[in-house]
Structure 1
Amino acid sequence: MTDIDSDIAKTGSAMASDDSTLHILSTSDVAGIDITLSDVVSVVEQAYRTLADGRSDNPRKLTVKPRDGHSVAYAMLGRDGERGVVAVKTSYKHGLHEDRDMQHYYTTLTLYDDESGLPVAMLDCGRVGALRTPAVSALLARELAVPGARNALVIGTGTQGRLALPFLLTTLPDLERLMLFGTHPDGIRAVREQLHAYFPDRKLELVTDLRTAAQDADIVLATAGPHTPASVDAEWLRPAALSVLIGYGIAPSTLHRADRVIATSAAQMLVTGVDMADADGRLREVDAEFPEVLAGRAKGRTDAGERIFAYNSGLVVTDIALGHRFAQLALTQGLGTAVPLWR
């Protein structure tokens, strides 16, 4: 039994101790939780494997968006069979037509112990998502990148771009050339700071010629926002390259001309990947889903020369697993506030 498994086994009942009390973890509480990148990767990988084993439930998310598109809201319900936890995640963003600093974004995760039937915790889910997504990209790279991959290119310096390289180095420590394409000085500075914080001996190469950088990259992570000028075309990619779409930054041709397509969820790709459709409005079929690849039930890379496209969309089971891990650590670190919510 791993340390994480042991914590799962003994912490749930300690946290879910009162049917009228909810443990609240604020943004500052969550920010103060000490967790390693390898711990995050391990938790996320376990969540995928449990889902592939049929022991977890990850229904399709509900979406509400007004006609003018000024906001979007999501609700996601799921169950983690490894931890015996049921949870609801909500996400709301307002001001989608505004600059990033003018937008409002709120996301929460509420956890319930499905063995005792008691509430566990409610927490701000921002940091969970900021860690979960690059951890998934790093797992995709570990499983799908060409053997001996040495060069990685990250496009974008927002929330998902800032930890992309530290997570990649966690799963692929032999990477040598770390390239970044970004247009926001503050974001570029943040990427440098995060890389230095986790891997102080590694150097970041800021690139301006995107085509040349893409031609040199074994792994391309597209994490940019919707207004990015970046759009890597399939013809720019080297043979056997892996391109991973998280946000924006690569063209639809990278999907349609790929030798193999892997998605964290084919159903979610059909809903959230519509901007990658071809001229007829169609998306390329998915060859395999990533949980099945991790479980060994489906092939990831089948040939060293394949050019692979991977679609990284969030699954709520990974939020639940990582959120529960945060709740465990918060309890041991004395963080959070117990609120008698149902009295």
Structure 2
Amino acid sequence: MTQSFPLLDDKSLCVLSTTDIAGVGVTLTDVVDVVEQAYRTLAEGRSDNPRKLTVTPEDGHSVAYAMLGRDGIRNVVAIKTSYKHGLHEERTKQHYYTALTLYDEVTGLPVAMMDCGRIGSLRTPAVSALLARELAAPGSRSALVIGTGTQGRLALPFLLTTLPDLERLMVYGTHPDGIRAVREQLNTHFPERDLEIVEDLREAAATADVVVATAGPHTPAAVESDWLKPAALAILVGYGIAPSTLLHADRVVATSAAQMKVTGTDMADANGELRDVDAEFPDILAGRAAGRADDAQRIFAYNSGLVVTDIALGHRFAQLALAQGLGTRVPLWQ
């Protein structure tokens, strides 16, 4: 892939702020295509995605992650850091910071350091949409999104991007502002589509072909396995579905089995054990593993997000932003 970055010297770094990244236009289809290519490149062995590192204090008031990766098709090395503080507080009192730093493997020079909030808010629902495209039962027509935070707000538009035949679009949430934001995002991208706000979660889950759980850790939602219809696909991003959906699934798929063991411990059984993964998603996209083995399977999919997808999407945003002259150059190494 041809590089199109303005050349920097070896003593400066271009910093792309939240405002800079917000000014970059990109379509949902573009995001899905970039993310899918990142998975395929990883499956081909051309990229590296080591296991993430995590640290958290004993009282659990914060959590931090560090993720290093290399994109072999874009010739980019990057590191992503994420830090969330105030996990015991309500959402408005929490602090969250995430950043991505890119280095060009061709020139050996830094590309940019950017706020990664928008990258993550696009990448994660794009991955869920790809999981749905590959794993949803044939003829799926209904989707339920649990949660109305950052990841829930774009879940339905991305699902419609990969599954345009969806007819019934449901959301369950407890925050009026979040519900309003979900509706606004759907109207922005698919103004002709209607949104159904559900209050009876069990009843909604029983009718949904695809369930995407994106809620925060304090959600009252906990969809059980026996609530789901036969052949349903349950995708876990945050919270909102109970461990039984994993334990009793006919098939388990994860974006990364190793990362699921790190971040999915709340889905363990009574003995503290996580069920084994049947297939990893990059292998499914590459055709080396089956997604849905038969139309009647009830599938659990774990979307933990791989740093190679952040790198690929961050690279695309950096290209577009720097071409527009956005960013501030900082003489970091002088």
Q: Are the equivalent residues in 2 in contact too, given 1:223–1:245 (CA < 8 A)? A: yes
**1:169 aligned partner:** 160
Q: Deviations over 1:259-289 (max 9, x none)?
A: 1000000011111111111111111110000
Which residue number in structure 1 is paired with residue 70 of structure 2?
79
The answer as to 2:30 corresponding to 1:56 is: no
Pairs within 5 Å for 1:60-209? 60-209=51-200
Q: CA deviation at 1:333?
A: 2.3
State the alpha-carbon separation in 2 of the partners of residues 271 and 109 from structure 1.
21
- Residue identity matched to 1:10: Q
CA contact (8 A) 1:16 1:119 kept: no
Pairwise CA distance, 1:16: 4.1
Identity of aligned residues (%): 77
- Which residue is 2:3 aligned to? 10
Q: Compute the displacement of 1:247 (Å).
A: 0.5
Pairs within 5 Å for 1:296-311: 296-311=287-302
Contact 1:152–1:219 under 8 Å retained in 2? yes
1:26 aligns to 2:17 (yes or no): yes
Cα distance in 1 between the residues matched to 2:54 and 2:296:
39
Query: Which residue identity is paired with 1:231?
Result: A
Count of residues paired in the alignment: 334
Q: TM-score, normalised by structure 2?
A: 0.98
* CA deviations over 1:302-326 (Å, ceiling 9, x no partner): 1011100000001111111110110
CA deviation profile, 1:200-239 (whole Å, cap 9, x unmatched): 0000000011111111000000000111111111111111
Of 215, 233, 236, which aligns to 1:245?
Answer: 236
Shift of 1:334: 2.4
1:294 aligns with 2:294: no
TM-score by length of 1: 0.96
Structure 2 equivalent of residue 282 of structure 1: 273
The CA distance in 1 between the partners of 2:7 and 2:112, in whole Å, is 8
Q: Following the alignment from structure 1 to structure 2, what is the Cα–Cα distance between the partners of residues 327 and 15?
A: 10
Query: What is the identity, as a one-letter code, of the residue corresponding to 2:73?
Result: E
Checking the alignment, whether the CA contact within 8 Å between 1:261 and 1:286 is kept in structure 2 is yes
SS at match of 1:66: coil
Deviation, structure 1 residue 22: 1.1
Render the CA deviation track for 1:158-182: whole Å, top value 9, x for unaligned: 0000000000001111100000000
CA distance in 2, matches of 1:148, 1:103: 40
Amino acid at match of 1:289: E
- 2:34 is aligned with 1:43: yes
- Structure with greater proportional helix content: 1
The residue aligned with 1:262 is 253
Q: How far is the alpha carbon of 1:63 from its aligned partner?
A: 1.0
3-state SS in 2 of match to 1:160: coil
What is the distance in 2 between the residues matched to 1:100 and 1:184?
A: 10
